[in-house]
Amino acid sequence: MKVMEKYKEMAFWPKMFINFILILAIFLLITVLSNVGIISNYYQGIMLSICINVILVVSLNITTGFLGQLTLGHAGFMAVGAYSGAFLSKNLMGTLPDPLIFLLAIIVGGVVAMAFGVIVGVPTLRLKGDYLAIITLAFGEVIKNILLNLNIVGGASGYIGIPRYTNFLWAYWLAVITVVLSIALINSRHGRAIVSIREDEIASEASGIDTKKFKILAFVFAAFFAGVAGCLYAHYMGILEPKTFKFDKSIEILVMVVLGGMGNIKGSIISAIVLTVLPQLLVSVSGYRMLLYALALIIMMLFKYDPTLVKLINNIKNRFKKVRG
């Protein structure tokens, strides 16, 4: 049977190996093209942003899409990770080899964000829906305001002089790790427990699942990767400003999640790519940029499940299958 195969170790690893080769090939292609100069610095920057956004969107999808809890404070976790990672690497700069410092900064950024995930999550995850959304929104704003007044990390004038360690290698592979771990989580008993909470919390409890524990697990998992993404961002820009992590940023990530599809990791990756590239493409029409962006979003949402479009996509899929086998 097809699904029995899914859990056979023998069938699993060769498939993963092929996936790995594909992922590696894409990486090498982009690296080579960048080094030769076919991909300009500008596009390299966009690709870096894509990787960071993929991490943010996939991780937010764990809480919003799979756990089914609307959280609006993802930028808050990102900020916590960014500042803590940057603080560490700025103070350690020169004492250790650069990659080691960066790795340490990423881990610390993630872990600190995770700790905040626990602090915020334990008391608030009793709430649901709108209430949780408002609390997490407040959390994001509180973090921003604390950072504005925290002189040790620059306060309102920004945290400057962060070593710019982030390059495509780091961003790409961290995005890959995030996606792989997220998929692994979802396809396990832990992931099933998380999804069951979204589907019906009462039935989930009645089936013997400790819903509080799994809510926190999902929340903390997402917070960790938001922290990692923040850390990548900090070491990419070299400067951090609290206002980057405004409410708008959380919404921006949420829009990507919603567009890609709640509980759909592939969709998250695609929408992270599309919605990172789209604003850049619209630079040429500067004045109408936000207008067109909003319009594009509305059109995409309207037609995502349009029967003719779904049919068209299925046709293409089937043709593709025929060609392959």
Partner 1 sequence: MMNVLEVKDLGINFGGLRAVDHFNLTIEQGELYGLIGPNGAGKTTVFNMLTGVYAPSDGQIMLQGKTLNNLSCHKIAQLGIARTFQNIRLFKDLSVIDNVKIGLHERYNYSLVSSLLKTKKYFLMEQQMEKEALDLLEVFRLHTYAHIKACNLPYGKQRELEIARALATHPKLLLLDEPAAGMNPQETEELMEVIKNVRKKFNISILLIEHDMKLVMGICEKITVLNYGSVLLCGTPDEVVNDPRVIKAYLGD
Applying CB under 8 A, the residues found at the interface with partner 1 are: 3-4, 7-9, 12, 181, 184-185, 187-193, 195-196, 199-200, 202-211, 217
Q: How far is the CB of 311 from partner 1 (least distance, A)?
A: 20
Residues 6+ apart with CB under 8 A from 273: 50, 54
The C-alpha R_g of the chain, in whole angstroms, comes to 20
- Three-class secondary structure of residue 94 per DSSP: coil
Residues facing 247 on adjacent strands: none
Q: Which long-range contacts (CB under 8 A, 24 or more apart) does 148-153 make?
A: 148/242, 152/87, 153/83, 153/86, 153/87, 153/240
Q: How far is the CB of 12 from partner 1 (least distance, A)?
A: 7
The first and second tokens of residue 127, run together, are 């709430």
Which DSSP letter does residue 303 get? H
Q: How far is the CB of 210 from partner 1 (least distance, A)?
A: 5
Q: How far is the CB of 200 from partner 1 (least distance, A)?
A: 5
Yes or no: say if 164 and 238 are a contact pair by the CB < 8 Å rule: yes
89/211 with CB nearer partner 1: 211
106/220 with CB nearer partner 1: 220
12/20 with CB nearer partner 1: 12
Q: How far is the CB of 204 from partner 1 (least distance, A)?
A: 7
202/323 with CB nearer partner 1: 202
99/129 with CB nearer partner 1: 129
Q: How far is the CB of 76 from partner 1 (least distance, A)?
A: 24
Yes or no: say if 141 and 247 are a contact pair by the CB < 8 Å rule: yes
Residues facing 240 on adjacent strands: 159
The first and second tokens of residue 90, run together, are 């700025």
Largest interatomic CA distance in the chain: 62
8/322 with CB nearer partner 1: 8
The first and second tokens of residue 267, run together, are 């969709």
Phi-psi map region of 93: left, alpha, beta (phi>0 left; psi -120 to 50 alpha): beta
